């Protein structure tokens, strides 16, 4: 300990802290400025940015004592307060809100502080200036377009020129609350640093936990000795599988994943937990891990799905009839032989897509508080940012040997999820440690642990054969997919099913035979990731489409238009599309823009100086909801109060997509209550009913409907009360602007609630919404209740001297049924596109013989602001009958066709087709120089 | 585990040396910490606790940029940002601004130092590549009390291995000759969007034209990584000296560089074949740029912040 002097946001502090602290740690843990976030501790993500003497630095790698005597500014100091104590946001904070440049908000303090340093020097920055200043400050949600607008707009205010107009997408039929870009409630907290994510919570006597993970990708644990760790002062508990009171297993679809690998059991990947420790400090917990002795018997490694399927491969899960075959998924439609016999052109190619990582900026964190800890915690309580709170509760209860009701899961803000926060991370482990120590326990994963541990996007090998007639009509698709499911099932079964059923693309394909083999391997498990398998199959399908078009001498747009799904088409799973198929509109909108009125002179590719340019197009579709016969329901509760406010409660996750706003809009619309008077509480298993998993782009549709119906039922109850009281026919009552209006007179909404209460009429209504019934794959009928559609065109440039690929522009059109909140929706689209650019150009989670190479964020580059292209996004609102106000899902559809659009564009630019991603500029240039037209290797193949 | 126990902030080189001596190999110099903290936290090499860090960024002699007696002096603890902001360096050693300008992002450049870049001893540290082309000398304060100016090349022993033992010695600063009339420099590098933030290949050139202004009087070229330590491309240099600076010559020089330099394939970074292509690409960018600067006397750094 030694004395440290810092001035933080104008206030001097003298602290006695260990000299080994980083500035981020002192700010967050010693001074409580939790607005500064930690995303990597590698100087990679920039979200920990603070100013030291006015200069932006990464506080995560800045030793606190380096700052001795200096002035620090953090996000908490940016807004000013007037004499009355009223807060005045900095123009950046204001404009980040106005331009919707905040989604999950975890990166926001870093983005704003980095931008503030820029604007301090230059209040009129060009796009290039902004890209330079923010180059190493990541946001995984927004795609940066809105961020750039917000910064420019704030600059305008600072210069006195005023803000920029908000780039609102055009929508049909806005009502009082629907199809309006209303602001997310509490969004101010995300720009001021007040918003609390899991690691921002602390409890008295809280302990810090760490996990010892397997030293090998495949090994039997022979012996575990924790005695040295137990003896370390400050260690409060060291637990192994033996200490689990209930079942040592978890899993979302199949129960195959041990909470900890016990003696005699097998570790199946490097992320498997062997032991957990709780200690007085993080440092002690870290040290204790090094004192746990484990003996292993090392087994052979299954490092890829094709080997996994071979007879020589070691078996991961003994006793399974199918060995390493996790699931064989089949689509059979029409007569495949006949289909190819009718074809004039047949194209068959093999594509590879890599394992990819969500890289949500908030690493996983869970806090367990033991039952009976205090009045607020009579039950075992787990605080976590999770996509599926009720299933967490169930999985915790199973391992703890408790009834579900004895466990409470309280969802907190989630710093991005994208599918990566569906499985159990530390939820069960903190429960075990909290019960064992009778103290609150926090388990915060480091970025490196997060990279190692959580389920990823499936790597795939996809062979696809497409047949078409001379006139362009598709006759058949045959495909074989191998998916790397990794060590545990997670959601592999469902994800790979989606990859399979969508492998015809959004087209009318009369004959199809598609087989998918999801395999167990010793790689990190694969699970849900935005796009849910369709991202992978679209990469293959949409390039094959362009190959077919080329072979036929047909325009790629034309080929898509000829075959596009429309009402009346039957999909390869036997589903007759009856409504809401906006694909052709999306193709038309994108094509008009892409051709830019140059119908005659439009070119797909050309050269200018040292660069080759090319356009590429791709279409996609994606189901909304679980589908496949899975019962899909969401339950929500709406309660009205006499003060005129309304509470909405459901356990659904807002990971930044803005669900809170959407649900509040639905309630406001039904009850005619001003949006600001709606409070939404999400994800508390004691207080909110089950909204089901936040996955499959389902929450706007499912929980939106649940809230809409609950609110409508409440309105009806109030209607009957008021109509009786005032003796007016119910049909004459109107709920609007916080009033109940009857022929010229009106009463306050709160007054109506008061009347109802007096009469003992319920003002709290629950509704369990069941999505339209779906059918399992293979049984025909409706496998899904809705599909969203999208078309994107990408303009890329390829540097003829280096092979470097840059995306210049993306034009997208997305059919989402209805845009309930257009600006939030646009944020999903822009963010989805940029994430998908990463999938195509920068991202690959590399594993060498079961051992991850991508152990650092520095080794896993996601798109930064410098990659952001110009994005033009159009909405197509082809209403879906059962969706709330006609809406369908949007979460995933924008991230599906960007990769093939880019690949098709590269081909048009330089005549080389890329079959494996992320695109390797090295291989691309070598192909260009040697006259080869195909590249079958990707970045990770460079060795 | 705490990664270090004590943090010292000396204000003179002597004081820094004394701290290091006192800990006898268990303390280490920290400048910006942008390499060091990541090594300590995340690599096995770094995974041992140090007794102390000795911060050299408040030693005045190490944070200065100055010009005197025909040298430009840059302290080892000068940040990349300070190099980029120096009008003096931009004019008279443009390549150094261009190389410091592409290191990391602003947050890293605001704390990362030129000395740290050199002491880390990567064969393609961006600052290093330019310092070699500038024929810079390094001022070292050795643990045994010796102080000497050494050609910068002498500091490199192998990849990541420096002649300076940062637990005992202090790299104090660098000096090099400013560009005179008809002299100029340029730096270019090739990156890939994936993987680690190290260049596939970087290239710095220093060029002197003769009185005719279109012939090369002298040249120094550093391209890396080629070997395990940064080095000059002497065959290519020889092919250029005395020649007229036209496209034909530059092509010939590039051809010779491609034939005589033997870059390797390195995992997840680049194939040898690609690197050979990039030698040509870089020389065709850097040499004409340097020639233009030498001819016009106008030297505006390119690509700063676009790394
Ligand atoms: C996100 C990111 C991106 C980066 N991008 C690039 C890049 O594009 N190009 C590039 O070249 N580098 C890059 N780096 C690496 C790094 O930032 C630079 O090498 C930087 O110049 C190191 O300087 P530093 O002051 O931070 O060194 P430190 O981390 O403080 O020190 C590095 C090593 O040198 C020793 N040392 C430092 N100063 C002295 C001295 N005066 N005397 C003796 N020993 C000393 C230390 O003990 C340590 O071993 C990047 C780093 C990060 C985190
Ligand atoms: S850069 Fe500091 S936490 Fe990522
Ligand atoms: S809003 Fe930027 S990471 Fe979520």
Q: Are residues A622 and A727 in the same domain?
A: no
Report CB contact under 8 Å: A926, B57. no
Residues A403-460: tens digit of each pLDDT: 999 999 999 999 999 999 999 999 999 999 999 999 999 999 999 999 999 999 999 9
Give the model's pLDDT for residue A73. Answer: 98
Q: Are residues A239 and A261 in the same domain?
A: yes
What residues contact A371, with CB distance under 8 A and at least 6 apart? Answer: A377, A378, A379, A380, A381, A406, A435
* Higher-scoring residue by pLDDT: A742, A544: A544
Asked whether B28 lines ligand 1 (CB < 6 A), one says yes
ipTM over 0.90 threshold: yes
Decide which of A770, A788, A806 is a domain's last residue: A770
| A478 within domain boundaries | yes
Give the model's pLDDT for residue A2. Answer: 84
- Asked if A253 and A326 count as a contact pair (C-beta separation under 8 A), the reply is no
Nearest CA to ligand 3 atom 2: A139
Residues A22-56: tens digit of each pLDDT: 999 999 999 999 999 999 999 999 999 999 999 99
Query: Which CATH number do you get for residue B261?
Result: 3.30.390.50
Q: Are residues A637 and A620 in the same domain?
A: no
Burial of A311 (C-beta count, 10 Å sphere; 0-12/13-18/19+): exposed
| B307 within domain boundaries | no
Where residue A599 falls among pLDDT bands split at 50, 70, 90? Answer: low
Total domains, chain A = 3
Report CB contact under 8 Å: A63, B307. no
Average pLDDT over residues A793-797: 98
Decide which of A750, A770, A790 is a domain's last residue: A770
Give the model's pLDDT for residue B41. Answer: 87
| B305 within domain boundaries | no
Best residue among A48, A96, A105, A863 to mutate for probing ligand 3, ranked by most atoms within 8 Å of CB: A105
| B136 within domain boundaries | yes
Which atom of ligand 1 is the closest one to the Cα of B80? 21
| A792 within domain boundaries | yes
Query: Which CATH number do you get for residue A643?
Result: 3.30.365.10
Q: What is the DSSP letter of B70?
A: T
| A668 within domain boundaries | yes
Report CB contact under 8 Å: A20, B2. yes
pLDDT at residue B1 is higher than 80? no
Give the model's pLDDT for residue A407. Answer: 98
| B256 within domain boundaries | yes
Q: Are residues A606 and A650 in the same domain?
A: no
Decide which of B125, B143, B176 is a domain's last residue: B176
| CB-nearest partner of B269 from A802, A858, A942 | A942
Give the model's pLDDT for residue A1. Answer: 62
Q: Are residues A534 and A601 in the same domain?
A: yes
Give the model's pLDDT for residue B43. Answer: 76
Asked whether B89 lines ligand 1 (CB < 6 A), one says no
Residues A311-324: tens digit of each pLDDT: 999 999 999 999 99
Cα A296 to chain center, whole Å?
Answer: 36
Residues A570-580: tens digit of each pLDDT: 999 999 999 99
Average pLDDT over chain A reads 97
| A5 within domain boundaries | no
pLDDT at residue A657 is higher than 80? yes
Average pLDDT over residues B230-242: 97
Best residue among A39, A114, A139 to mutate for probing ligand 3, ranked by most atoms within 8 Å of CB: A139
Asked whether B305 lines ligand 1 (CB < 6 A), one says no
Q: What is the distance between the alpha carbons of residues A389 and A381, in angstroms, rounded to a whole number? A: 12
Q: What is the DSSP letter of A331?
A: E
| Domain with A739 in it | 633-770
Q: For chain B, how far is it from start to end, CA to CA, in angstroms? A: 34
Phi-psi region of A71 (alpha: psi -120 to 50; beta: other; left: phi over 0): beta
| A100 within domain boundaries | no
Q: Is A688 helix (H, G, I), strand (E, B) or coil?
A: coil
| Domain with B259 in it | 183-296
Strands (E), B130-190: 137-141, 147-151, 156-158, 161-162, 170-176, 183-190
| CB-nearest partner of B33 from A62, A855, A918 | A62
Query: Which CATH number do you get for residue A249?
Result: 3.90.1170.50
Q: Are residues B238 and B280 in the same domain?
A: yes
| CB-nearest partner of B107 from A2, A57, A132 | A57
Q: Are residues B90 and B36 in the same domain?
A: no
Find the closest chain A residue to B197 by CA distance: A858
Ligand nearest to the CA of A658: 3
Q: Are residues B64 and B40 in the same domain?
A: no
Query: Which CATH number do you get for residue B16?
Result: 3.30.43
| Six token digits for residue B252 | 């010939």
Residues A562-572: tens digit of each pLDDT: 999 999 999 99
Q: Are residues A841 and A926 in the same domain?
A: yes
| A638 within domain boundaries | yes
| Six token digits for residue B179 | 């560009």
Which atom of ligand 2 is the closest one to the Cα of B107? 1
Provide residues with CB under 6 Å of ligand 3. A 102-108, 139-142, 361, 416, 656
Which atom of ligand 2 is the closest one to the Cα of A41? 3
Q: What is the distance between the alpha carbons of residues A638 and A483, in angstroms, rounded to a whole number? A: 42
Decide which of B176, B191, B217 is a domain's last residue: B176
Asked whether A43 lines ligand 2 (CB < 6 A), one says yes
Q: Are residues A667 and A753 in the same domain?
A: yes
Q: Are residues B200 and B253 in the same domain?
A: yes
Average pLDDT over residues B269-279: 98
Q: Are residues B279 and B189 in the same domain?
A: yes
| Shortest distance, CA A370 to any CA of chain B (angstroms) | 27
Q: What is the distance between the alpha carbons of residues A460 and A351, in angstroms, rounded to a whole number? A: 8
Q: Are residues B197 and B290 in the same domain?
A: yes
Report CB contact under 8 Å: A844, B194. yes
| A94 within domain boundaries | no
Q: Are residues A591 and A477 in the same domain?
A: yes
Q: Are residues A724 and A816 in the same domain?
A: no
User: Which residues in B lie closer than 8 A to residue A845 (C-beta atoms)?
Assistant: none
What residues contact B144, with CB distance under 8 A and at least 6 apart? Answer: none
| B209 within domain boundaries | yes
- Of A36, A446, A44, the closest CA to residue A282 belongs to A446
pLDDT at residue A274 is higher than 70? yes
Q: Is A831 helix (H, G, I), strand (E, B) or coil?
A: helix
Q: Are residues A616 and A522 in the same domain?
A: yes
Q: What is the β-pairing status of strands B50-55 and B4-8? A: parallel
Q: What phi and psi, each to the nearest 5 degrees, are found at residue A640?
A: -105, 145
Q: Are residues B51 and B75 in the same domain?
A: no
To test the contact with chain B by mutation, choose from A55, A66, A285, A842 the residue with the greatest count of B C-beta atoms within 10 A, namely A66
Decide which of B144, B176, B208 is a domain's last residue: B176
Q: Are residues B50 and B65 in the same domain?
A: no
| B301 within domain boundaries | no
| Shortest distance, CA B54 to any CA of chain A (angstroms) | 10
Where residue A233 falls among pLDDT bands split at 50, 70, 90? Answer: very high
Query: Which CATH number do you get for residue B157?
Result: 3.30.465.10
Asked whether B29 lines ligand 1 (CB < 6 A), one says yes
To test the contact with chain B by mutation, choose from A922, A927, A929 the residue with the greatest count of B C-beta atoms within 10 A, namely A922
Find the closest chain B residue to A921 by CA distance: B192
Asked whether B171 lines ligand 1 (CB < 6 A), one says yes
User: Which residues in A lie closer than 8 A to residue B31 (C-beta atoms)?
Assistant: none
Find the closest chain A residue to B278 by CA distance: A802
Report CB contact under 8 Å: B192, A136. no
Average pLDDT over residues A819-842: 98
Q: Are residues A590 and A643 in the same domain?
A: no
Ligand nearest to the CA of B140: 1
> E strand or H helix at B36, and its extent?
helix B36-42
> E strand or H helix at A640, and its extent?
strand A633-640
Q: Are residues B149 and B245 in the same domain?
A: no
User: Which residues in B lie closer than 8 A to residue A132 (C-beta atoms)?
Assistant: 106, 304-306
pLDDT at residue A268 is higher than 90? yes
Total domains, chain B = 3
Residues A292-348: tens digit of each pLDDT: 999 999 999 999 999 999 999 999 999 999 999 999 999 999 999 999 999 999 999
Best residue among B108, B173, B230 to mutate for probing ligand 1, ranked by most atoms within 8 Å of CB: B108
Q: What is the distance between the alpha carbons of residues A467 and A476, in angstroms, rounded to a whole number? A: 5
Find the closest chain A residue to B110 by CA distance: A57
Which atom of ligand 1 is the closest one to the Cα of B76? 41
Where residue A933 falls among pLDDT bands split at 50, 70, 90? Answer: very high
| Shortest distance, CA A291 to any CA of chain B (angstroms) | 12
How many CB pairs below 8 Å do chains A and B form together? 148
Decide which of A770, A804, A830 is a domain's last residue: A770
| A399 within domain boundaries | yes
| CB-nearest partner of A43 from B38, B265, B269 | B38
Q: Are residues B80 and B162 in the same domain?
A: yes
Residues A604-649: tens digit of each pLDDT: 999 999 999 999 999 999 999 999 999 999 999 999 999 999 999 9
Q: Are residues B51 and B74 in the same domain?
A: no
Q: What is the distance between the alpha carbons of residues A476 and A501, in angstroms, rounded to a whole number? A: 14
Strands (E), A89-214: 207-213
Q: Are residues A570 and A446 in the same domain?
A: no
């Amino acid at each position: 300990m030694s004395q440290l002097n810092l001035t933080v946001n104008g206030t001097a502090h003298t602290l006695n802290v260990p000299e080994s602290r980083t500035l981020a740690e002192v700010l967050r843990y010693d001074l409580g400025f939790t607005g500064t976030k930690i995303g990597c501790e590698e100087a990679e993500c920039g979200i920990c940015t603070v100013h030291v003497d006015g200069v932006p630095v990464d506080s995560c790698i800045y030793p606190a004592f380096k700052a001795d005597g200096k002035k620090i500014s953090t996000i908490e100091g940016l807004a000013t307060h007037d004499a009355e104590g009223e807060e005045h946001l900095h123009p950046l904070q204001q404009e980040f809100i106005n331009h919707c440049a905040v989604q999950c908000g975890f990166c926001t303090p870093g983005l704003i502080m980095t931008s503030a340093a820029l604007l301090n020097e230059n209040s009129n920055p060009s796009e290039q200036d902004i890209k330079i200043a923010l180059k190493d400050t990541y946001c995984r949600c927004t795609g940066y377009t809105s961020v750039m607008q917000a910064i420019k707009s704030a600059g305008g205010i600072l210069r006195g020129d005023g803000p920029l107009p908000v780039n609102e997408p055009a929508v049909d039929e806005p009502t009082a609350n629907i199809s309006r870009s209303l602001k997310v409630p509490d969004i101010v907290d995300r720009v001021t640093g007040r918003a609390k994510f899991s690691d921002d919570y602390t409890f008295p006597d809280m302990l810090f936990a760490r996990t010892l993970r397997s030293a090998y990708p495949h090994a039997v644990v022979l012996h575990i000795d924790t005695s040295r760790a137990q003896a370390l002062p400050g260690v409060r508990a060291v637990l192994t599988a033996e200490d689990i009171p209930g079942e040592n297993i978890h899993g979302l679809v199949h129960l195959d994943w041990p909470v900890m690998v016990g003696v005699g059991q097998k570790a199946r990947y490097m992320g498997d937990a062997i032991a957990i420790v709780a200690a007085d400090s993080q440092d002690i917990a870290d040290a204790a891990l090094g004192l746990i002795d484990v003996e292993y018997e090392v087994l052979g490694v299954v490092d890829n799905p094709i080997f996994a399927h071979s007879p020589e491969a070691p078996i991961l899960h003994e006793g399974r009839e199918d060995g390493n075959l996790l699931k064989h998924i089949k689509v059979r439609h029409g007569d495949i032989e006949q289909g190819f016999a009718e074809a004039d052109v047949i194209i068959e190619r093999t594509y590879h897509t890599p394992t990819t990582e969500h890289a949500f900026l908030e690493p996983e964190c869970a806090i367990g508080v033991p039952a009976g800890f205090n009045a607020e915690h009579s039950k075992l309580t787990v605080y976590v940012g999770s996509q599926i709170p009720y299933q967490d509760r169930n999985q915790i209860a199973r391992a703890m040997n408790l009834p579900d009701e004895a466990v409470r899961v309280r969802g907190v803000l989630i710093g991005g999820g994208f599918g990566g926060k569906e499985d159990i991370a530390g939820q069960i482990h903190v429960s075990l440690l909290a019960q064992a120590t009778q103290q609150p326990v926090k388990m915060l994963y480091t970025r490196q642990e997060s990279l190692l541990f959580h389920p990823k996007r499936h790597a795939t090998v996809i062979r696809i054969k497409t047949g078409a007639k001379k006139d362009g009509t598709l006759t058949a698709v045959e495909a074989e997919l191998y998916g790397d499911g990794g060590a545990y099932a997670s959601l592999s079964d469902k994800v790979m099913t989606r990859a399979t059923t969508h492998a015809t693309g959004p087209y009318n394909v009369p004959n199809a035979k598609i087989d998918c083999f999801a395999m167990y391997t010793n790689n990190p498990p694969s699970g849900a990731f935005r796009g849910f398998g369709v991202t992978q199959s679209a990469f293959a399908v949409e390039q094959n489409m362009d190959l077919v078009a080329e072979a036929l001498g047909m325009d790629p747009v034309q080929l898509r238009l000829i075959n596009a799904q429309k009402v009346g088409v039957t999909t390869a799973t036997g589903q007759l599309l009856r409504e809401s198929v906006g694909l052709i509109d999306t193709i038309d909108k994108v094509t008009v823009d892409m051709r830019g009125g140059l119908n005659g002179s439009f070119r797909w590719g050309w050269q200018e100086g040292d660069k080759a340019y090319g356009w590429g197009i791709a279409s996609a579709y994606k189901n909304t909801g679980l589908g496949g016969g899975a019962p899909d329901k969401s339950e929500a509760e709406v309660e009205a109060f006499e003060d005129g406010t309304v509470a909405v409660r459901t356990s659904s996750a807002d990971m930044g997509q803005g669900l809170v706003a959407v649900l509040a809009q639905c309630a406001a619309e039904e009850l005619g209550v001003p949006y600001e008077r709606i409070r939404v509480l999400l994800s508390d298993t004691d207080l909110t009913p089950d909204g089901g998993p936040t996955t499959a782009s389902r929450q706007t549709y499912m929980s939106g409907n649940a809230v809409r119906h609950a609110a409508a039922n409440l309105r009806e109850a109030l209607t009957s009360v008021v109509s009786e009281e005032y003796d007016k026919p119910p049909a004459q009552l109107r709920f609007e602007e916080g009033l109940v209006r009857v022929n010229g007179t009106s009463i306050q909404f709160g007054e109506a609630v008061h009347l109802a209460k007096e009469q003992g009429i319920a003002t709290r209504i629950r509704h369990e919404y069941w999505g339209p019934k779906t059918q399992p794959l293979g049984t025909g009928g409706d496998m899904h209740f809705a599909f969203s559609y999208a078309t994107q065109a990408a303009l890329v440039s390829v540097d003829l001297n280096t092979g470097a690929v840059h995306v210049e522009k993306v034009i997208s059109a997305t059919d989402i049924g209805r845009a309930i909140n257009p600006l939030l929706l646009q944020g999903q689209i822009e963010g989805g596109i940029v994430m998908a650019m990463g999938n195509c150009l920068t991202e690959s989670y590399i594993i060498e013989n079961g051992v991850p190479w991508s152990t650092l964020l520095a080794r896993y580059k996601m798109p930064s602001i410098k990659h952001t292209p110009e994005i033009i996004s159009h909405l197509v609102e082809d209403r879906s009958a059962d969706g709330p106000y006609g809406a369908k899902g949007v979460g995933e559809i924008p991230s599906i066709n960007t990769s093939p659009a880019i690949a098709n564009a590269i081909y048009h630019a330089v005549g080389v087709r890329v079959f494996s991603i992320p695109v390797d500029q090295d291989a691309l240039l070598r192909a260009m120089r040697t006259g080869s037209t195909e590249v079958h290797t990707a970045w990770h193949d460079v060795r | 585990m705490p990664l270090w126990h004590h943090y010292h902030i000396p204000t003179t080189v002597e004081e820094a040396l004394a701290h290091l001596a006192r800990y006898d190999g268990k303390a280490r110099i920290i400048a910006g910490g942008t390499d060091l903290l990541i090594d300590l936290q995340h690599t096995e090499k770094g995974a041992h606790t140090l007794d102390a860090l000795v911060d050299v960024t408040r030693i005045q002699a190490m944070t200065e940029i100055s010009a005197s007696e025909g040298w430009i002096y840059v302290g080892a603890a000068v940040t990349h940002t300070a190099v980029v902001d120096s009008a003096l360096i931009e004019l008279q050693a443009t390549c150094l601004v261009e190389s410091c300008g592409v290191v990391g992002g602003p947050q890293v450049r605001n704390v990362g130092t030129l000395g740290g870049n050199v002491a880390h001893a990567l064969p393609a540290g961006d600052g290093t590549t330019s310092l070699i082309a500038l024929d810079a000398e390094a001022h070292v304060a050795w643990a045994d009390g010796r102080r000497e100016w050494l050609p910068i090349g002498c500091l490199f022993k192998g990849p990541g291995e420096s002649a300076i033992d940062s637990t005992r010695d202090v790299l104090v600063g660098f000096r090099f000759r400013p560009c005179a009339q008809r002299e100029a420099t340029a730096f270019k590098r090739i990156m890939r969007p994936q993987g680690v933030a190290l260049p596939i290949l970087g290239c710095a050139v220093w060029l002197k034209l003769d009185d005719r202004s279109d012939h090369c009087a002298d040249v120094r070229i550093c391209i890396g990584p080629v070997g395990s330590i940064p080095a000059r491309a002497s065959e290519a240099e020889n092919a250029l000296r005395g020649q007229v600076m036209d496209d034909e010559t530059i092509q010939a020089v590039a051809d010779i560089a491609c034939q005589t330099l033997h870059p390797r394939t390195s995992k997840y970074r680049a194939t040898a074949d690609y690197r050979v292509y990039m030698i040509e690409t870089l020389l065709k960018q850097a040499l004409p740029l340097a020639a233009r600067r030498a001819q016009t006397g106008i030297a505006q750094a390119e690509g700063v912040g676009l790394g």
